[in-house]
């Protein structure tokens, strides 16, 4: 395993390493190797793998907390450095895949940045892995196996253990029609655990990026616990407007879950929620107990273990089975 010890995600990488070290029945050795990043005064930088990785199966746990441009550039340089180090395999672990919202040509003369990213990764890596891609079809852009893990089973485990009351009279709310399948997927996993839930859908109109003009919620939410789900919490404007509509329609309690918490405008304006849940794919430190982190370290650790030994990953997404 390779990770930058000075990066914000090193704790995430070390958690995966510890999971593998403690894995019962493991018959292979595990080592955590430093990725060294050297910065120059003019803004250039270079990367170096601190130890020999020749003929090793390597898993790069890459820091998703960097700015998008630095993230993509450093990822390309790191993959180049790994390739010249002659490993047996290069597996790229992206807790949060940046540029995934730019997955199609939605107007003239624009780049499809997620395809560019996929081309770069596919040029060097043997395999890739991420969680809750913004659009599942992005997997098809890669010319290598690229696994998109789902965090919903982990979320259900977390809610059952820590907040079982949220699961009573529950409505899963998608803030837009495009997320309808995501909401249905969570409802299916809840039903497999014997938890009844229904779906409500939001329809939003935008005047420009990151600015929602209007939201209409379709579904019965009166006197219900409402959990709004999305893959990314960026400014939070869509979630907040959806929550305000739910409140006006008589919702009992309003919660939110977003796998990747960017919070580009801070967290102060999220007071409309009773609870906001995000994963640890990005580093967030909350002083407000209204916010909680759903850890995905075990999910990635088990997925990496199964990749190494050649076992199926699909069991990790079965709502009937609690993750190990």
> In sequence order, what are the residues at sequence separation of 6 or more whose Cβ sits closer than 8 angstroms to the Cβ of residue 205?
212, 213, 214, 215
The continuous run of DSSP H or E covering 243 comes out as helix 237-248
CB atoms within 10 A of CB 179: 20
Positive or negative torsion for Cα 62, 68, 72, 74 = negative
Quick check: is 14 catalytic?
no
CB atoms within 10 A of CB 66: 18
* Token code pair at residue 318: 């079965």
Furthest-apart CA pair in the chain: how many Å? 61
Backbone angles phi, psi at 311, to 5 degrees: -100, 160
DSSP-H helix ranges across 23-124: 68-83, 113-124
Positive or negative torsion for Cα 157, 163, 169, 173 = negative
* Residue among 66, 204, 241, 275 flagged as catalytic: 204
> In sequence order, what are the residues at sequence separation of 6 or more whose Cβ sits closer than 8 angstroms to the Cβ of residue 305?
19, 20, 23, 26, 311
32 in Cβ contact with 304 (< 8 Å): no
Rounded to whole angstroms, the Cα distance separating 266 from 285 reads 11
Torsional class of 148: left (φ above 0), alpha (ψ -120 to 50), beta (otherwise): beta
Residues labelled as active-site residues: 204
């Amino acid at each position: 395993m390779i990770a930058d010890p000075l990066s914000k995600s090193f704790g995430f990488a070390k958690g995966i390493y510890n999971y593998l070290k403690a894995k019962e029945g493991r018959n292979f050795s595990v080592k955590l190797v430093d990725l060294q990043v050297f910065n120059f005064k003019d803004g250039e930088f270079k990367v170096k793998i601190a130890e020999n990785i020749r003929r090793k199966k390597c898993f790069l746990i890459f820091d998703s907390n960097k700015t998008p441009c630095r993230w993509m550039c450093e990822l390309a340089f790191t993959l180049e450095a790994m390739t010249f180090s002659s490993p047996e395999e290069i597996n790229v672990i992206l807790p949060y895949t940046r540029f995934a919202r730019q997955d199609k040509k939605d107007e003239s003369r624009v780049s499809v940045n997620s395809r560019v990213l996929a081309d770069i990764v596919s040029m060097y890596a043997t395999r890739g892995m991420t969680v809750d891609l913004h659009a599942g079809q992005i997997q098809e852009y890669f010319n290598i196996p690229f696994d998109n893990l789902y965090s919903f089973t982990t979320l259900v485990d977390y809610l059952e253990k820590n907040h079982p009351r949220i699961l009573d009279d529950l409505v899963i709310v998608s803030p837009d029609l495009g997320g309808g399948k995501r909401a249905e997927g969570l409802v299916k996993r809840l039903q497999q655990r014997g938890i009844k839930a229904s779906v409500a859908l939001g329809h939003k109109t935008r005047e420009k990026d990151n600015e929602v003009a209007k939201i209409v919620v379709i579904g019965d939410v009166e006197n219900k616990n409402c959990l709004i789900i999305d893959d990314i919490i960026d400014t939070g404007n869509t979630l907040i407007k959806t929550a305000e509509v739910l409140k006006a329609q008589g919702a009992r309690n309003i919660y939110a879950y977003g796998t990747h918490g960017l919070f580009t405008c801070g967290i102060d304006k999220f007071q409309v929620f009773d609870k906001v849940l995000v994963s640890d794919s990005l580093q967030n430190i909350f002083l407000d107990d209204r916010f909680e982190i759903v850890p995905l370290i075990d999910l990635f650790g088990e997925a990496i273990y199964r990749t190494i030994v050649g076992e199926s990953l699909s069991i990790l997404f079965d709502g009937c089975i609690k993750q190990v």
